[in-house]
Homo-oligomer: A and B are copies of this chain.
């Protein structure tokens, strides 16, 4: 019961309380929204609904966000910050391709397990009804692709690859990462068996892609100049 916040002073009402309390409410709103978004869409969320879940009054919402869309964008940046950190970490690692693959999958699995609501939110809103949110996600994913392309370029298997080809491959990897994350997310919450099945599948698929990576140069289609338009 004796809470003893004790950031600066001893018994007197400590400084910084004001901002801390505000931040607390903000977090409560974000968390409440995240909780509700587990079985709803952002475009179907309501201000009153969120404040009710967060234990605030409806009017309180507007002390923190102008809109629900604004809250949505905040959620996106938050979710992608985590993910971004994680991607960088994976890309910085070194070792044999097969080891990299296994570690990447393990990291994704753990991340989904830890931040499932965030991931679900991203999956849901990637093609969702709110433009600004969609664009924020797309922009961040394209950053991931760029970074992945850069990292791929540093690998010995990529000798002789031009930038467009690296981006092509990176896109494949990023897209695969996304759908693997979605698969983990969709799996029954605690089922390690399902997780292992998904991981094994993803492992083989990534392996197959990396085989394609290794043999690409020898069978590069048309030598890059005579590309016929594929559209219809």
Contacts and interface: CB of A to CB of B under 8 A. Distances in A.
Contacts of A219: 211
Number of copies: 2
Contacts of A176: 172, 175
A42 B201 CA distance: 31
A41 B230 contact: no
A92 to B, nearest CB: 19
B227 A216 contact: no
Given A165-B204, A205-B168, A221-B207, A105 B212 contact: no
A201 B106 contact: no
Q: Is the interface of A mostly helix, strand, loop or mixed?
A: helix
A23 B179 CA distance: 38
A208 B172 contact: yes
Nearest to A46: B44
A88 interface: no
A39 interface: yes
Interface string A202-224: 11110111111111100101000
Contacts of A17: none
A106 B230 contact: yes
A138 interface: yes
Interface in A76-107: 98, 101-102, 105-106
| Residue in A98, A127, A165 whose Cβ sees the most chain B Cβ within 10 Å | A127
B204 A208 contact: no
Contacts of A186: 127, 138
Interface of A: 39-44, 98, 101-102, 105-106, 109-110, 120, 123-124, 126-129, 131, 138, 165, 168-169, 171-172, 175-176, 178-179, 182, 186, 192, 195-196, 199-205, 207-216, 219, 221, 227-232
Given A105-B230, A109-B232, 9 more contacts: A44-B129, A109-B230, A126-B127, A165-B204, A196-B231, A200-B229, A204-B221, A211-B211, A211-B215
A-B pairs with lowest CB-CB distance, top 7: A212-B212, A43-B44, A44-B44, A208-B212, A199-B230, A41-B41, A41-B129
